[in-house]
Structure formats: C-alpha cells, structure tokens
Amino acid sequence: MGSDKDTKIATESAIPGETPEAGTFREYKSLQVDGVDPVFEHQARLVNHAVQGIGMGKYQWALFGLCGYGWLCDQLWQTTISDALAQVAIEFTPQHSAFLSLALIAGLVVGASFWGLGCDLIGRRLAFNLTLLIAGIFGTAAGAAPNFVSCAVLVALCGFGVGGNLPVDGAVFLEFLPGTHQYLLEILAVWWSFGQFIPAGAAWGFLPRYSCSADTPAGQCQKADNMGWRYLMYSMGAITLAGFFARFLLFRLRESPRYLIGQGRYQEAVDVLNDVAQYNGTTQFLTVEDLLQVEREYAGQGGVPRIGKTTALKRILAQFRPGGFKHVRALFASKKLAWSMTLIILVWGMIGLASPLYSNFLPEYLALHGAQSGSGSINITYRNNFIIIACSIPGTMLAGWLIGLPYIGRRGTLGLSLILTSVFLFAFTAARTQAQILAFNSVSSFVQYIMWGALYCYTPEVIPSIHRGTGTGLAAAFNRICGLMAPIIATYVGYTNTPIFVSASLYIVAGLLSFCFPYETSGKASL
C-alpha cells in the first residue's frame, strides 16, 4: 500500500495526458487501512481523485443540509422522549416509566444494525429515503397512543426508522466529500445539537402550559389536561416528515460511486460522477477503462473481476449463508484493523451508556435538584434544560477547528473532550444551588459536543467505504445496546448522583482508549 505502483495508477488514470492539479488526489493523501482488497482500494483512490476534481459544490452542500437533517432527527426523538417521559408517566401511571426510553433505544439498536448492514448490501439510496418516513409516521402516531404499552411500541418503531440515519447519512455525505473538506463531517454534528435544541424549546413551550402538575394524584391526570407531550410528539413528527419530503421530492440522491464499484457496476459509478460534476457545473475525467485498467494491473495479485449485476446479486445473497456476512468479517481482516474496530466499538459502547445516564433523565434530575434549591417549577426545569442544550452548539463548532490542528487531530480531540466531560460531570454532582447546577451542566454540554463531533467524524472516515455502513452501524448498534442499561439503572437507583458517577467514570475510560486508536484520519482522504 502506498507504493510507486499506487501513485502510477492514480496519476495515469486521473486526467489523461495531464498532471493532476494542486489540491487533487495526489496532493491529498488517502488513508491507508490494512485488510482492504487492493483492487477496490486503488479504484477508491481514483474515485477520491475524481471527487476532489469535482470539488465542493451545490451537490455537496445540498447533502450537508439533507444528511444533517437526518442526524437532527436522530437526536430529536431521543430528546423528545426524554422531555415527554415525566408527563407520559403522570397520565398513564406505568410501573416503570423509564421503559419508554428503553423502547426507543431498542428500536434504535435494531434500526442501526438493519440499515447499516442494509446500505452496504443494497445501496445507500433506499435507506436514505425510507428512514425518515418510518420515523415520522410512527413518531406522530405515538402522540395519539391511548395507553403506555401502545405508546412504547410506536416509539420503538419510530426508533427503528430514525436509528438508520446515523450510519447511512454519515456514509452518504462522506462518500461525496472532497478529501480537503472532510472536516465538514464533524461540522455535520451541529445538526445533532439542533436535534436537541428544537424539542427542548418546544417542550419548554408546550409542557408547562398543557400538562398535569407533578403533584396530581395517580390516575387523576386526564388526557384533555395533559396534551403538552402529545403536541410535542405531533410537532416532532411533522418536522421528521418534512425532512422525508425534502429528500424524496426536492433532491435526487445518486448512489455512492464507491458502493457501485464494489458491486462491479463501473458504468453506473462513472455516470454518477458525471451527473454530480454536471450538477456542480464542472467536469470529471474518470472512465470505465480506468477502473478496468486497475483490475488488469492486479490480475495476478488476487484482483477479481466485479462486472455484472448477477455477480453482485450472488454476493448479496451469499451474506446470508453460513460463514457469510463478509462485510462484518472484513472489518476484522487484519490485526491492526481488528484492533481499530474493537476499540471503536468499545468507545461507542461506553459513551452509549454514559450519555443517557446523564442526558436522558436530566429533566427529572433537574426537577429534583431544582426543588432542593428552592424551585420545583416545571417552567424553570425546562428553561434550564433548554439553556444547557443551547450550549452544545458552539461545542460542535469548536470541534470542527480542533480536529484539524497538528498534533491533536481526531484522536486527540476525542480523547481530551471525553476526559474533560468526566471532570465536569464529577464537579456537577457537588453543585447545590440552581446557578451551580445550571453552570456545570452547561459547560458539560459544551464539552460533550466536542466529543460527539470528533466521534462522528472519525468513525466513518476510518472504515473503508465498501464496509462503511456495516461498521458504523455496528458501532451505533452497540452504542444503543449499552444505552439499554441506562433506563434500568435510573429506575432502580433513582435520580441520584450515582448514575452520574458511573457516567463520568465511563467517559474517562473511553477517553484513554481513544488515544490507543491505531489510525489518525486527519489530513487524509477516506477510502
């Protein structure tokens, strides 16, 4: 990898008869990952070159908005359920109200796994268009639920849909980004911040005005007196469906060219690059012959012809035979790659438990500690929650700058932000006044979103595109699986300092593991 032969192929296949211009493929080094099929690797490098030549244009900025909207919806529903939880419990009086969060997380687990693997098997376009439709329909329906069980089932189905946005949208956006603009994958996480900001603001508007009071006797809270959480669900469902219609009606997503070359569909891959170049008002010079030349160069070194939809279909079906699932096995194809993927999954899992232990039950924690500090007002509780979430937005923007700094990069930004998050969470448990509680939570939220931005940027970058959906989906699924324990801990431990101590400890360990990642993706185009 990285040999003179690589450079020869890249140079000869870029713009025939010309030397690549500054800022194109050769000048922006591609990430080298062990265990990748050499034919696909070099073809992916040629696609990198073509995308770099096309540049950052209208198509990429449209994707920034539409993929970002998907990430917004992922967090939007987690925040919505968190904010609605207390009022749902007052109305339906379930034995364990936190199981509503459990239902959402279960849906997110299945959704991340299903759509993550699915987008590597059948392509990105179908998942890109369906996830928001499913989430919007079932999320809206949950607002009309007549009892707690039906509400939890509908919320789980909503989670199944929206759970695919994290692995799919990140892969779609990254695969059309020029290497010089991959930092925008981190900035994409600012949409995730708005995904908290919007429902927090809506909850502050709806819940204090249209909710039963916290001291309403069990069984006495009627639907007509407790419409706030339902209005919240209807509003977030409408926002989610608006994203689906924008994707389906206003924009035509082209299939990922790297996915297409992995399936042997070279002509379609070149057609996509030509379409994107035309959309941006530029041109690109990659041809089918260039891709075939790579196969011929490696014919004696394990290169396997990929042309033919029949062959591609057989490969898809082969995933489900005993010993199949090559997209999963390929993530552990070498020692270094296996070490990288194992650490990524572990860090995602630790954060998956740590984050909801802090954030998902923050309104209840704030209500409890607000009362201890002299104010049990539901208006103050949701006002403070809104302020805390607002602090996440500048954190995401700062991360976009930090990940590109020399000697810090993605790994350093992730590790340092995780450790700082734990420090502020430990400090938060010592807060006694409303001002102290609000201040420590606001700073924790700011630092946490530096962490989220770095994590969301690094993970898809370090996984080769032919397996990117699967790898990101596995990490996201394990993140959600670990998150399943958060409602159980909150239910049986209560809204005390203990869950926050556990959360802070997990952030420290995850931060230390981040420094052990074997690859640094800063300054390199992903494969």
Instruction: Look up the domain containing 164 and give its range.
Output: 58-253+332-514
- What are 233-279's pLDDT values in tens digits? 999 999 999 999 998 888 888 888 888 887 788 898 899 999 999 99
Is 505 in contact with 422 (CB distance < 8 Å)? yes
Residue 467 lies in a domain: yes
Number of domains in the chain: 1
Residue 269 lies in a domain: no
Pull the structure tokens for residue 5: 């032969």
Residue 282 lies in a domain: no
Residue 526 lies in a domain: no
Tell me the whole-structure pTM to 2 decimals: 0.71
Backbone angles phi, psi at 130, to 5 degrees: -90, -30
Residue 523 lies in a domain: no
pLDDT at 465 over 60: yes
The whole-number pLDDT of residue 211 equals 84
Residue 369 lies in a domain: yes
Please tell me what DSSP assigns to residue 30: B
Residue 199's nearest CA partner among 53, 285, 77 is: 77
Mean pLDDT of the residues in the chain: 77
> What does the alpha-carbon distance between residue 343 and residue 3 come to, in Å, rounded to a whole number?
28
> What does the alpha-carbon distance between residue 187 and residue 64 come to, in Å, rounded to a whole number?
9
Residue 246 lies in a domain: yes
Residue 264 lies in a domain: no
Domain holding 426: CATH number?
A: 1.20.1250.20
pLDDT at 463 over 50: yes
> What does the alpha-carbon distance between residue 173 and residue 171 come to, in Å, rounded to a whole number?
6
pLDDT at 511 over 80: yes
Strand partners, 30: 525
pLDDT grade for 466, boundaries at 50, 70 and 90: low
Is 458 in contact with 414 (CB distance < 8 Å)? yes
- What are 72-109's pLDDT values in tens digits? 898 899 889 988 888 898 888 888 777 888 889 889 88
- What are 60-80's pLDDT values in tens digits? 999 999 998 988 898 899 889
Is 82 in contact with 361 (CB distance < 8 Å)? yes
Place of tokens 């500048």: 394
Is 420 in contact with 447 (CB distance < 8 Å)? yes
